[in-house]
Amino acid sequence: MLTAHNSAVAGDFAATVLMPGDPKRSKYIAETYLENARLVNDVRGIQGYTGSYKGTPVSVMASGMGMPSMGIYSYELFAFYDVQNIIRVGSAGSIHPAVALRDLVIGMGASTTSAFARQYNLGGDFSAICSYDLLEACMHCTDTLGLRAKTHVGNILSSDAFYGETPELIQRWSDMGLLAIEMEAAALYMNAAKLGKRALTICTVSDHLLRHEALSSEEREKTFDEMMRLALETAIALEC
């Protein structure tokens, strides 16, 4: 089914889709890891590819930045293209002393400053959490890939503001035990919950907001391979 944001047709996407924010990262994953990858969507430069990884069909498509963009693309994949699992692979800023640059953060829950959940008229606060079976498969894969020591699992913050979080606000979230800040997971988790699908967020720490450390834009685009392999191994573990 064609949508306003996706030119793919039925059957073009695999059951599991990896979703980086950056279209260039989507292209990198497809060209580096997928066999026989083909471009299935390029509307507005949001590139989507489908191929196979170790014999298992896998797709990868960018989400763009922020919860509104993630909300659109993940909803369409879930609702119109029969996608069952979306694994977000992106960058995050650490706000925890024990979470260092290049460490992996898995969002078991996604607190948020967004009003995304208000559309459901729930009359309360919705807890945006990942799918347990995806998390379980992912954690098993951290062991097989030797990544458990640098992987942190817990609550993250999905923020609507890239520049608006003050040091005082960051410290308050840190004091609540949150691991990192990113901008998409909560919307992804809410769409998955609403539509009865599965979602997980795996992020590489690109910045440390307490220590004022950061990776370069080129490093963010091309050197997050541990995260990408972990997501791909999780995708094929779901088929076992």
- Residues with active-site annotation: 207
Sequence-distant (6+) residues with CB within 8 A of 64 are 21, 46, 70, 73
Residues in the chain: 240
Describe the crossing of helices 185-195 and 67-80 by its angle, rounded to 10 degrees: 30
| 157 neighbors 111 (Cβ within 8 angstroms) | yes
Strand spans (E) along the chain:
16-19, 35-41, 48-53, 56-61, 85-94, 104-112, 151-158, 180-182, 198-208, 213-214
